[in-house]
Structure formats: C-alpha cells, structure tokens
Amino acid sequence: MCARDNDASASAGQQLPAEDLVEAAGTALRMLTDPTRLRIVWLLRETEMDVAGLATATGAARPAVSQHLAKLRLAGLVRTRREGRRAVYTARGGHVQRLIEEVLSAAEHHLTGAPDHD
C-alpha cells in the first residue's frame, strides 16, 4: 500500500483525533508503561488509598510512590482529596478504570494464548 492509498482511506473513513487529544492520550499511556504506576492505578480503580497503603501494597518505597502519584495526577489518571493532613488517592473515573482493566486483560490473553474477544 502506498502513501496515497493511506491518505485516501483516512479521508474516506474517519478523521484523525485532534493533535492535543492525541498528545494527552499519549502522555497518559506513557505514564502507564511503568509497572509500579500500573500497579498503583490498578489498586486505585475501586478504592481510595493513601501513600503508605500504596507503598505497602506495591512493595515500593514511600518517596517513590509519592513521585509516581504526582506524575499520575499530572497526566489526569488519579485524583486526590484531603482528609486532614492525609491525602487519599483514587483512579480518575470509569474511563481510567476500564483502561487499566482492558490493558491487563489484553496482556493476560497475550500471555496465556486465550482468544481475543470484543
């Protein structure tokens, strides 16, 4: 297939997403390439946890967990709320929860050879 064919099929089918949208999605996905961050968001998809709880659950040092959480917040993947001096974190909405579940499900299918499904 030549470049001309790619141009024709893109214009005949659907338009590419806006550049800023693609950049934001790319940033979010890059944040999830780190296994510790992926574990953190997995834990936060259904519950709230603080840094100490996340450090214990992931086996990572508290300062490392804090740094990961800061990056995940900037990427819009987690949100925080205060309980006095303590900050509690949770995954930011259903889209993030489903993204984490789907990517881990896809990885499981790949590793086990399970058939793909829709």
- pLDDT at res. 83: 93
- Looking at residue 12, its pLDDT comes to 60
Neighbours of 43 (CB within 10 A): 19
Q: Under a CB-based contact definition with an 8 Å cutoff, are residues 27 and 20 in contact?
A: no
Q: What tens digit of pLDDT does each residue of 4-63 get?
A: 555 555 556 789 999 999 999 999 999 999 999 999 999 999 999 999 999 999 999 999
Answer yes or no: is pLDDT of 87 > 90. yes
- Given a contact cutoff of 8 angstroms between Cβ atoms, the answer to whether 54 and 89 are in contact is yes
The pTM for the full model equals 0.82
Tokens of 46: 């259904």
What confidence category does residue 116 fall into, taking pLDDT thresholds of 50, 70 and 90? confident
The predicted pLDDT at position 52 comes to 97
Q: What is the largest CA-CA distance in the chain?
A: 60
Residue 75: closest CA among 41, 102, 43, 105? 41
